[in-house]
Amino acid sequence: MIEFYPPVSTGEWVQVSGAAFTILVGLILLLAPGMFLRISGQAGESVERSAKIVLRSHLSGLCLGLGVAVLLLQQPLLYLALGISWGFLALSQIISIIVDRDFSISGFILLIAKSSIAAVLILSVLGYFD
């Protein structure tokens, strides 16, 4: 049986917070994709409908599923997988900035946020916060 035990160390708090944040992002993408589009600077009549469909169907499901699985199972390798996933989100943000030539402030803020979450999750699994 799966038992949820509360985090006791700083590293465990960081890991649980990362999983909870991933779930929060998934909920925002599912329930309010327009808000995410405005934050990322992609809001527009022509893009908004198809982008909302993609955000709701693909990204929210992945964020919610991965976040809930990691939070319920609470295994170090799953937290590492979550950190690596956030790292690849940051890498895709870099590629998007370069290829699309979108050098906006919101793009760089999202890049910093994704990179920070990835680094904190990976470093916590490696024992830097214990």
- Encode pLDDT of 64-88 as tens digits: 999 999 998 989 999 999 999 999 9
Contacts of 129 (CB under 8 A, 6+ apart): 9, 10, 11, 14, 123
Q: Give the phi and the psi of residue 75 in degrees, each rounded to 5.
A: -110, 140
Total Cβ atoms within 10 A of residue 85? 20
SS3 of 1, please?
Answer: coil
- Given a cut of 70, whether residue 44 has pLDDT beyond it is no
Interval 90-112 mean pLDDT:
87
Amino acid at 56: R
Residue 38 contacts residue 110 (beta carbons within 8 Å): no
Work out the pLDDT band at 45, boundaries 50, 70, 90.
Answer: low
- Judged by DSSP in three states, 129 sits in coil
Q: What pLDDT does 112 receive?
A: 95
Is pLDDT at 41 greater than 80 in this prediction?
A: no
**The predicted structure's pLDDT at residue 29:** 86
